[in-house]
Structure 1
């Protein structure tokens, strides 16, 4: 069963959305960082990736103007957002605040 984007971001646990593009260099830098954060946090949070070229409506809905843009949701609310690359430790600490 596929979960919709809105169902995922309305979750009671934090959901980090990585808005990225396949052609974006910094987005490729974020990949191993996100894997690190996921392995560190386990089930405390979800991480999903949204390709802005394939999902322009989602990117537009959240005014994503640059990639990568990371947005942290919980129960449908935006808790935090940042564009650009962020270190794994810093990202994990931010997500932990809301877990």
Structure 2
């Protein structure tokens, strides 16, 4: 029972890591050493989390300012759109 509970707790972390590799390109950096990758991977994940949280805290008026590229329509704002909105607000 204890092993199953550990696996269940670990599952959400594994899903997070898989999503960050697939969508953010984490662990695909072109760096010279494994230590450099080990340092930058958490920073990239933290940056994504901070920008996402800050975007969520923006007033509705500023969140609706999020623009999408006219040549590439997306149903929801992308990370770049969120980053732009946070930079503008700061």
The TM-score, its normalising length taken from structure 2, stands at 0.26
Between structure 1 and structure 2, the one with the greater Rg is 2
Higher share of residues assigned helix: 2
Bigger RCO (CA 8 Å, 6+ sep)? 1
The TM-score, its normalising length taken from structure 1, stands at 0.25
Higher share of residues assigned strand: 1
